[in-house]
Amino acid sequence: MSDAFKVQIRTADQTRKAQVEVETDKSAGELIQAAVDNWKLPVDTEYTLVNVTRGTTVPAAQRVGSVADPGDVLEVQPVLVAGATREPRRGR
């Protein structure tokens, strides 16, 4: 059995937050998926995990125990896709 510790996890808009006990061998991706499932976040959106306490983005494959300490705040943030194209205007 792996070790576990408590962190606060929240959404970027801070409308959802919880203090959870997370196992050190869980990946950031598993933590994100649990938040999406539990909070019924949109499934057609890509998310990233940010350790707000440390000011770092956590790669999805990274183990939580190596990127967070007890009491850290972890934020599930939607990945914004920029560069939407707009059709050029046609003559008036």
Domain ranges in the chain are: 4-78
Q: Which of the four pLDDT bands, split at 50, 70 and 90, describes residue 65?
A: very high
Give every CB contact of residue 47 below 8 A, 6+ residues apart in sequence: 32, 35, 36, 41, 76, 77, 78, 79
| pTM for this predicted structure | 0.83
Given 3-state DSSP classes, what are the helix, strand and coil percentages for the chain, each rounded to the nearest 5?
Answer: 15, 35, 50
Look at the domain 4-78 and name its fold.
Ubiquitin-like (UB roll) (3.10.20)
Q: Which of the four pLDDT bands, split at 50, 70 and 90, describes residue 87?
A: low
* pLDDT exceeds 60 at position 86: no
Give every CB contact of residue 37 below 8 A, 6+ residues apart in sequence: none
- 87: its two tokens: 């059709």
d(CA 75, CA 12): 6
Give the chain's mean pLDDT. 90
